[in-house]
Amino acid sequence: MTVLTLELPAMYGDHHVVEVRRILLELKGVENVYASSGFRAAEITYNAKKVAKQDIIAKLEAVGYIGELSIPEETDVPANESEIKDLFFRHTEAYAQTNRVVSFEQNVGHAGRALWPCPGMAPITSMEEE
């Protein structure tokens, strides 16, 4: 048996531990998976004759666990002066009467996905649909 330890920065919750274990244990040759959302790492015990290290890494990359979790950041450049096409910014308003900011909001469109980027998340399907 071969042991592979991988850093998984996008595995930040316990539900990710369950998903990483499920994904990897479906691969033929993977014998055991110890994953920790606290350490953001997984230790995978596998049979190198049945599954390649590259296949394990490719599977985790495909579902988004390898690599940094992308979280949009605001820039200090006004939206109308920025050259960035998909600019992320919050909307605030100041009213002349009070000369203070009285509103704060963030427009988040729902496109059938989790609002916060979450690797491995997909719509739940019933057993009959699979």
* Counted domains in the chain: 1
Q: Do the domain assignments include residue 94?
A: no
Query: What is the distance between the alpha carbons of residues 125 and 130, in angstroms, rounded to a whole number?
Result: 7
Q: Do the domain assignments include residue 112?
A: no
Q: Find the CATH number of the domain harbouring 11.
A: 3.30.70.100
Domain range for 28: 2-63
Phi, psi angle pair for 36, to nearest 5°: -135, 120
Q: Do the domain assignments include residue 12?
A: yes
Low-confidence ranges of the chain (pLDDT < 50): none
Q: Do the domain assignments include residue 49?
A: yes
> What crossing angle do the helices spanning 53-63 and 14-25 adopt, rounded to 10°?
140
Q: Do the domain assignments include residue 30?
A: yes
Q: Do the domain assignments include residue 33?
A: yes
Helix (H) or strand (E) holding 21: helix 14-25
Bridge partner list, 30: 46
Q: Do the domain assignments include residue 38?
A: yes
Question: For the purposes of burial, counting CB atoms within 10 Å of the CB of 11, is it exposed (0-12), middle (13-18) or buried (19 or more)?
Answer: buried
Would you state the pLDDT for residue 42? 93
